[in-house]
Chains A and B, each alone.
Chain A
Amino acid sequence: RKEVEQDPGPFNVPEGATVAFNCTYSNSASQSFFWYRQDCRKEPKLLMSVYSSGNEDGRFTAQLNRASQYISLLIRDSKLSDSATYLCVVNEGGSQGNLIFGKGTKLSVKP
């Protein structure tokens, strides 16, 4: 069974902290990778794509290690507004373009 595994969480951190989320995937043929953010009782929204070379968007840095089948998300200088559940998502590609979701890691940033 193809799976995406994430840290179970929850992560409770103070404002200004740096927090890292990890994710592993089982299908070595997976084509593309993403981190999504989901607020309570809302739909998931794309936070950032993850590229093999690593990529950064402001306080957020994502990295991919294809050899280890490992994805990470680093959040620096955490804000209260970062509190949410973070989902690791893998697109297996192919003709069906199937998406596989991790169960998510809940982050709570405290004052």
Chain B
Amino acid sequence: DAGITQSPRHKVTETGTPVTLRCHQTENHRYMYWYRQDPGHGLRLIHYSYGVKDTDKGEVSDGYSVSRSKTEDFLLTLESATSSQTSVYFCAITAQGRRTEAFFGQGTRLTVV
């Protein structure tokens, strides 16, 4: 299995609090992604990174920010959590190239109450 880990795996937080999810990879892959998965919507891209300090918005970026200060770490922050951000969050990595598959972390189940 690809070396990609997410932390925490589960979290319950209150509305209005900041939350940071961490994705760590040991594969030295260039691209890293944060997705959320909700029933009826499938996987939706929040933000992605194509290198250190190079990030861009995805389809559902409102309310989220990211940072990538090192190749191996990609952080997702909810500045002020809302109940609509209750979801399962997956981090993924891909190597550079046109035929590369993605490898996923085990997911973080976030509940905002």
Chain A residues within CB distance 8 Å of chain B: 31-32, 34, 42-46, 49, 87, 89, 91, 93, 95-99, 101-104
Contacts and interface: CB of A to CB of B under 8 A. Distances in A.
Q: Classify chain B's interface size.
A: 20 to 34
A11 B11 CA distance: 33
Contacts of A43: 90, 104-107
Given A43-B107, A96-B50, A96-B56, A104 B42 contact: yes
A102 B42 CA distance: 7
* Chain B binding surface, main DSSP class: strand
Nearest to A6: B42
Among B33, B44, B104, chain A packs the most CB atoms within 10 A around the CB of B104
Contact of B98 (A34, A42, A91): A91
B95 to A, nearest CB: 9
Interface string B55-70: 0100000000000000
B99 A32 contact: yes
A89 B105 CA distance: 17
A101 B99 contact: no
A46 B92 CA distance: 12
Contact of B92 (A31, A32, A96, A99): A99
Among B56, B100, B107, chain A packs the most CB atoms within 10 A around the CB of B100
A96 B48 contact: yes
A101 B42 contact: yes
Contacts of A102: 42
A49 B99 contact: yes
Interface in B63-113: 90, 92, 94, 96-107
